[in-house]
Amino acid sequence: MQKYIARDVVSAALVLILSSILVFTVSCSTTKSAKPAAGTTISEPDDLTSSEAISEYYFMAAQVSTWNGDIMRAIKEYKKAIEYNPKSAKLHFGLAKLYSTSGDPALALIEAEMALILSPEDIEILKLLSEIYASQGNVEKAAELYEKIIGLTPKDKDHYLKLSTIYIEAKQFDNAIETLKRYLKIYPKSPDIYFYLGKIELYRNDNDKAEEYFVKALRYDPEFESAIAALGLLYEDRGNYEDAAKKYTSLLKKYPGNNLLRHRLAKIYILLNRLEDAIAEFKKMELYGVKKDEIGVKMGLIYYDMEKYEAAVNEFKVILANNPTNEKVRYYLAVCLTKIEENDKALEEFSKIPETSEYFTNSMIHIAYILQDREDYNGAIKEINRALKLEPKNANLYHLLSNLYLNKKEHAKAIKYIEKAVKLDPESINHLFYYGAVLERSGNLKKSIEVMKKVIEKDPDNADALNYLGYIYADMGINLDEAERLIMKALTLEPDDGYIIDSLGWVYYKKGRYEDALREIKRALTLSPDDPMINEHLGDVKYRLGITDDEVLSIYQKSLGMDLNSYLEHQIETLKKKIEYLKEGKRIDDLI
């Protein structure tokens, strides 16, 4: 069946709004080339005579195809290049990277191993091969290759961190610690190494050891925000605020200029109701040239990024008490309140964001989402229209407005506004797919089919569009072989999607392959047990298989008792008729 999109569109749009604050990653060096203009191609010359020259031509062509996003063509051109120069490590490495990118680890492994045979000490080849083995769960081989990399570059910190990450992901914490300690023997004053050791100890639930490493990280980098945040959370998670205050005080004697740490101490004093002490700490922070609001915002956003929403709320409230006009803080306070399901308070805070604020539109979107969840569609529409007055060319707002009217079953308006979104942003696959879905919900199947074909033409691997079109065909009882092909392709992309599996079962049902249909629909229900349409499909299939009317009736009644928001009126009436007929002992062949 199609995934019902109306309830989730506003939520999906929020992903575009929220940004990460704290990211701690290990970077790996890569070789980069200048990228040509989009659409560049290389014409095959007539005067290539040597094998190396022909191979280099195909290599350059493969590079251009890669830059243009045509991975399959690039693979073919790499293969041709290798035909003329089979002993080029560069070519086998490039082909291995493309296979890895395109999701073919087996072929990637073959090419990467060949590249390594030809160039056994190439760092980039070793890295790629290690990543391939790690993705296949072969931790031993992945680690062996990184050990070789470290042997070649014994002072490169990133390689130790990467190897330790491989061990951490395999939960081989002792090996991860041993790897990092080897680097400390070379550079004993590396704060990020101590920080990672602390994180590993947290994984092993050894909080005391984790604390020791975090403190060492701060010894060598007093402004190391990640270590400060981790240490603060460690203390606060223990709930022993008196001891936490003592620890912070002790650290501040060594690092008096660390205002992030001082802010944590001030916050703990607030929790302990030692308000005069808290004020004193805030004043000390100002002496070191940092406004307390600035520190509080930073800590609050760190908590937000770590999904410690209640802690973030506390930070933001303190700031707003001193500076109630800080729109950024008020906005993030409201967002955090939605995360802890205090939606009434969130609505109050969002409503205080003025129209002149850069956060106004996003606030209206959040309000609309909350109201939509309460089925107050008119209220949600009002808020989106307020935002549209300020941003009349915002395609996403028209998309959301269409979604709200679809929830109200006002299909003409839903179509009107999604058409505006498509017109404003014609390159958006999301808008175009939703347009096709709205057309289908309104009963215009012919045009819906046309639009879904356009989506697939633009994005051949769009599993939702493949499934949607396949299900429309199946439900109409047409193009069943094509429907099966589309849905099978969707399943290769999303093999554990209950809705797509149900679509496959529905194709089998329409083909009269009832046993196959029963198998797939049962499998779909294990993944999406509360979907009324999949349950109804189960009843239809069992009826065709001659299962007792009482069992089928029970299935239909269960379906009717579920959330039918995704159903159209005629679908609800049909389901009710099935139940009515079975209760009266009538056949329902004409209804299924």
SS3 track for 213-269: HHHHHHHHCCCCHHHHHHHHHHHHHHCCHHHHHHHHHHHHHHCCCCHHHHHHHHHHH
Six-digit token pair at 184? Answer: 């400390």
**Residue type for 24, please?**
F
Q: Which of 64, 116, 53, 127 is nearest to 90 (CA)?
A: 116
The answer to the question of residue 58 being in a domain is yes
Q: Which residues contact 287 (CB under 8 A, 6 or more apart)?
A: none
The answer to the question of residue 512 being in a domain is no
Counting Cα atoms < 13 Å in the Cβ hemisphere of 509 gives 30
| Model pTM above 0.75 | no
User: In this structure, how many other beta carbons lie within 10 angstroms of the beta carbon of residue 140?
Assistant: 10
Q: Is 511 exposed, middle or buried (0-12, 13-18, 19+ CB in 10 A)?
A: middle
Six-digit token pair at 566? Answer: 């995704």
The residue behind tokens 């969130």 is 346
The answer to the question of residue 119 being in a domain is yes
The answer to the question of residue 8 being in a domain is no
Q: What is the pLDDT of residue 232?
A: 76
DSSP H helices, 28-138, are 51-67, 71-84, 89-101, 105-118, 123-135
Counting Cα atoms < 13 Å in the Cβ hemisphere of 567 gives 20
Q: d(Cα 2, Cα 87) in Å, to the nearest integer?
A: 50
Q: What is the pLDDT of residue 322?
A: 83
- Tens-digit pLDDT profile for the chain (592 aa)? 665 443 333 222 222 222 222 222 333 333 334 444 444 445 455 555 688 889 999 999 999 988 888 889 999 999 999 999 999 999 999 999 999 888 888 999 999 999 999 999 999 999 999 999 988 889 899 999 999 999 999 999 999 999 999 998 888 999 999 999 999 999 999 999 999 999 999 888 898 899 999 989 988 998 787 788 788 778 878 888 887 888 788 778 878 888 777 888 888 887 887 877 876 787 787 677 766 677 677 778 767 877 889 988 988 998 898 889 999 999 999 999 999 999 999 999 999 999 999 999 999 999 999 999 999 999 999 999 999 999 999 999 999 999 999 999 999 999 999 999 999 999 999 999 999 999 999 999 999 999 999 999 999 999 999 999 999 999 999 999 999 999 999 999 999 999 999 999 999 999 999 999 999 999 999 999 999 999 999 999 999 999 988 999 999 999 999 988 888 888 999 999 999 999 999 999 999 8
Q: d(Cα 188, Cα 193) in Å, to the nearest integer?
A: 9
Q: d(Cα 395, Cα 261) in Å, to the nearest integer?
A: 43
The answer to the question of residue 106 being in a domain is yes
Q: d(Cα 81, Cα 422) in Å, to the nearest integer?
A: 42
Q: d(Cα 104, Cα 227) in Å, to the nearest integer?
A: 38
CB 316 within 8 A of CB 333: yes
Contacts by 366-375, CB closer than 8 A, 24 or more apart: 366/14, 366/334, 366/335, 366/338, 368/10, 368/400, 368/404, 369/10, 369/11, 369/14, 370/338, 370/343, 370/346, 372/7, 372/10, 372/404, 372/407, 373/343, 375/407
The answer to the question of residue 589 being in a domain is no
Counting Cα atoms < 13 Å in the Cβ hemisphere of 224 gives 22
Q: d(Cα 36, Cα 41) in Å, to the nearest integer?
A: 9
In the chain, the number of structural domains is 1
| Dihedral angle sign, alpha carbons of residues 32, 33, 34, 37 | negative
Domain that residue 60 falls in: 48-153
The answer to the question of residue 581 being in a domain is no
**Residue type for 274, please?**
R
Length of the chain: 592
User: In this structure, how many other beta carbons lie within 10 angstroms of the beta carbon of residue 222?
Assistant: 18
User: In this structure, how many other beta carbons lie within 10 angstroms of the beta carbon of residue 294?
Assistant: 13
DSSP codes joined into one string, 473-513? HHHHT-SHHHHHHHHHHHHHHSTT-HHHHHHHHHHHHHTT-
Q: d(Cα 493, Cα 278) in Å, to the nearest integer?
A: 55
Q: Which of 379, 377, 348, 309 is nearest to 9 (CA)?
A: 377
Counting Cα atoms < 13 Å in the Cβ hemisphere of 25 gives 7
Give the CATH number of the domain where residue 132 resides.
1.25.40.10
DSSP H helices, 323-394, are 327-339, 343-351, 360-373, 377-390
Q: What is the pLDDT of residue 169?
A: 86
The answer to the question of residue 86 being in a domain is yes
